[in-house]
Amino acid sequence: MSTHQANFVRASMIEASPAPALESGIAFWLRKNLFATPQDTVLTIISLLVLAWLVPPVIQWLFIDAAWTGGGRGVCATIAQGGSQPDGWSGACWAFVNAKFDQFIFGRYPPEERWRPALVGILFVLFLVPMLIPKVPYKGLNAVLLLAVLPIIAIILLPGGWFGLTYVETALWGGLMVTLALSFVGIAVSLPLGILLALGRRSNMPVIKMLCTVFIEVVRGVPLITVLFMASVMLPLFLPQGVTFDKFLRALIGVSLFASAYMAEVVRGGLQAIPKGQYEGADSLGLSYWQKMNLIILPQALKLVIPGIVNTFIGLFKDTSLVSIIGMFDLLGIVRLNFADANWATAVTPVTGLIFAGFIFWLFCFGMSRYSGFMERLLDKSQR
Amino acid sequence: MAIGVTDAPEKRKSSGSIINDPQVRGIFYQAITIIILAVLIYWIVDNTVENLRRANIASGYGFLNSRAGFDLGQSLIAFTSDSSYGRALVVGFVNTLLVAITGIITATIIGFIVGIGRLSHNWIIAKLSLAYVEVFRNIPPLLVIFFWYSGVLAILPQARDALALPLDIYVSNRGVAFPRPLFGEGAQYTLFAIIIGVIACFAFARYARQRQEATGQRPPVLWAVLGLLIGLPLITFLATGAPLTFDVPIAGKFNLTGGSVVGPEFMSLFLALSFYTAAFIAEIVRAGIRGISKGQTEAAHALGIRPRLTTRLVVVPQAMRIIIPPLTSQYLNLTKNSSLAVAVGYADLVAVGGTILNQTGQSIEVVSIWLIVYLSLSLATSLFMNWYNARMALVER
C-alpha cells in the first residue's frame, strides 16, 4: 500500500548552523592571523620569543625592581655604590622623578611664585579644551580668550615685575613650562606667518615671491641648531650697542621662524590643490585679493592640509627640546641638569629621567596626532 | 603641478583712477618692500660693523688658516691640535657625511622592514611594527640620542672588562672596538677587480634587458651578478696571495689596544637617528604600497605572474614612485638632524664650528659656512633624488 505524499515543504526556516569549528572562534582567529602559512608561523614564533625575552625584564626593571620612594641616591644605588640596594640590583629610580617633579614642571622658578605658571597652565587647559571639542559653541570668543587674553595674562604673570609681582627672570624658567610656552608661541606665530609666506610664494609680484622663496628654502635647508645658534650668537651682533634681547625671546624667534618656513610649504600644498576655478570664481565676483583668500581659498586649502599642519606642530613640539643645547632648561634640559645633582647621581638616574621626559613628550605628540586624525575624519564626513 | 594664480587680466583698460590699477599697485607694494628691506639691511650691516669694531674682531675668512689648538675625538682624516681651523671644519664635514650616510642606509633598511611589517597579515608583526612607529615618531630625536648616550652606552662595562663579542669585537663604555683591516702589497688588484665587477654587472644587466626584450628569454642575471661581484674579487684576492691582515683589538690590563674604535658619541647619534628616521620611512613605505590599487595585483595574477614576481615587477616599481619624494625629504631631515651631534660632543660640522665660534668669535663666518654646507648638501641630495625619481617616473606615451 502506497500512499504518495506531497513533496515535503518546509514551513519554517532552518536554524543557521554554526560555522565549522575550523572557521570560527579563537582557533580560527589564531590560524588566520598568526599561523596562516609556514612563513607566518616562523615569524610569529620568533616575535613571541623576542617579546618573551624583552618584555618581562623591562617590566621588572620599570616597575617591580624600581625604587619608588626615598630621599636620596641611597635608594637607587647598590651597596657597593654606597646605597642600600643589594649588589647586582638594577631598576628604575622613580624616587628621583618624584623628588624632582616640581623642577621638571617649573624649572628653577621660585617655589613661592609657582602659583603663577600653574594658574596660566590651568587657564590654558580651560581655554584649550572647549576649543578642541567641536560641539562646544562660541568658538570665536574662545579663540579670542586663547589667542589674545591668555598671552596677555601670561606676559603679566610669568615674568612679573608689575602689579606688585616679583620679577622672575627667564633664565630661571624651565621644565615643561618652557617647553609648552615655546610650543604655544611657536604654533601661534608660525601658522599665520606660514600662511603669509605661502601666499607670498604664490604671489605674482616677483620681488615678494623671490623673497619668500629664498626665506623658505634657506630655512628649510639648514638644521634648527644653526638657526638657534644664529638667533643666540648673531642676533646680538645685528642690534645696536646696548639693546639686548632676552635669551628666551631669542629662542622663541628662532623656533617660530623655523617652524613657519615648514608651515609655509604645507599651506602651499593646500593652495595648489584648490582648483583654478575657485580663484577665477572669486575674481569674477569682484572680491579683492584678501577677501578672495580669506573667504574662498584659505578655508578650503587649510582644511585639506590639517594633517600636515598638525605634523608641523608635532615637529615643532619635539624641536623645542633643542633649546637645551643653547643653554636653556626646557623639560629635557632640566632633566639632564638634574643628572649632575650629587644627591641623586646613580647609574640608573639618567635612564629613569630620560624615560620620564620621553613619556611626557610622547604623550603630547601622540595626543596631537590622535586629535588630528579625529579632526580629519570629522571634516571628511562633512564634505560628503 | 603649479596652478598659476590669475589675479587679474594682463591688461585692464583703466577706467578709473590709477590707484586702482592692480599693476601699478603691485609695483608700488614691491617698491615699498625693497625700500624697507634695504633700510633694514643697511641698519643691520651698520650695527654689525660697529659691534665687530667694538669687540675687536677682524672679519673675513683668514682665521681658517690659523692653528686650531683643540683635539677632535674622531676623525677619518689626519688631524692634530696643530692643524688649522679650516682642516677642523673639513674633519667635521667628513664626520657629518659619515653619520648621515650610515644613518640613511640603516634607517632605510629598518624603515622598509617595519613599513612592510605594518601591512603584514600576521597580527603580531603588524602590531609590533605599529608600536615601533608610534613610539619613535613621537619622541624628540635629541632625547633618543641622550637615551643611548647616557642611558645605555654609559653604563656598559669599563674598557678593561669589555664585553667580548664574536669576531674580536669588544663593547665597552669607550665605544665599540673591532678588528681593523690592514691591506698589504697587491691589495689594490682586489679593488680593481671590485670596480671591474661593478662595471661588468651594469653591462650585463643592460645586455640581459636587451636580450629579454628581443627574445623574451631572460639570462640568469642573479648568478652572473653574484659571480662578478663576489667571485671575481675573491679569485683576484686569493691569486695575489690574500694580502689582508687584521689589527685585532686586545684586551689589556686597563684598556683595549689596537683595532678601530667607534666612540659612544658616534654610536648614540647613529642609533638614535636611524631608529627615529626609520619610523617616518616606515610610514612612507606603508603609504606607498597602500597607494597601489588592488587591481594592479589582481591583473598581474590574472596574467599568471607569480606573487613574488608580482611584487617585484608590478607593485614595487609603482610604489617607489609614491615613496621617493617623501623619502628624499626624510634623508635630508636625517642629514640635518645629524647636527644634534653637538649635544653629545661628536665632532660634526656644527660641533666643530661651535668650538671655533667660541674660540675666535667669528660668528658670521662660521654661520655662513654652516649655511653654505647644509644648503649644498640639501641641494645635492635633492638633485640626486630628482634624477632617480625621473628615472622611476611614469613613462607616458
Could you report the per-residue pLDDT of B314-358, keeping only the tens digit for each? 888 888 888 888 888 888 889 889 888 888 888 888 888 888 888
Q: For CA atoms B339, B343, B349, B354, give the dihedral sign.
A: positive
Among B202, B227, B207, smallest CA distance to B219 is for B207
Nearest to A226 among B6, B139, B350 (CB): B350
Q: How far apart are CA A368 and CA A384, in angstroms?
A: 25
Q: CB A361 to CB B139 under 8 A?
A: yes
- Tens digit of each residue's pLDDT (9 = 90 or more) over B273-284: 999 999 999 999
Residue of B nearest to A297 (CA): B5
Task: Dump the DSSP string for A14-45.
Answer: PPPPPPPGGGSHHHHHHHHHTSSSHHHHHHHH
The amino acid occupying position B3 is I
- Mean pLDDT for A350-376 is 88
The amino acid occupying position B164 is A
**Model confidence at A221: pLDDT above 70:** yes
| Cβ A12 vs Cβ B93: under 8 Å | no
Is residue A196 exposed (0-12), middle (13-18) or buried (19+ Cβ within 10 Å)? Answer: middle
Contact residues on chain A for B6, CB-CB shorter than 8 A:
276, 279-280, 283
Tell me which DSSP letter residue B251 carries.
Answer: E
Q: CB A226 to CB B370 under 8 A?
A: yes
Residue B157: helix, strand or coil by DSSP?
A: coil
pLDDT at A217: 85
| Cβ B208 vs Cβ B218: under 8 Å | yes
- Mean pLDDT for B168-177 is 74
Among A304, A319, A324, smallest CA distance to A375 is for A304
**Model confidence at B46: pLDDT above 70:** yes
The pTM score is 0.83
Interface test with B, best of A78, A237, A317 (most B CBs within 10 A): A237
Q: CB A272 to CB B371 under 8 A?
A: no
Predicted confidence band of residue B302 (pLDDT cuts 50, 70, 90): very high
Task: Dump the DSSP string for A92-143.
Answer: -BHHHHHHHHHHHHHBT--GGGTHHHHHHHHHHHHHHHHHHSTT-S-HHHHH
Nearest to A226 among B50, B339, B364 (CB): B339
pLDDT at A193: 93
- Tens digit of each residue's pLDDT (9 = 90 or more) over A90-110: 778 888 888 888 888 888 888
Q: A253-286: buried (b, 16+ CB within 10 Å) or exposed (e) per residue?
A: bbbbbbbbbbbbbbbbebbeebeeeebeebbeee
Is residue B350 exposed (0-12), middle (13-18) or buried (19+ Cβ within 10 Å)? Answer: buried
Residues 6+ apart with CB under 8 A from A200: A208, A209, A211, A212
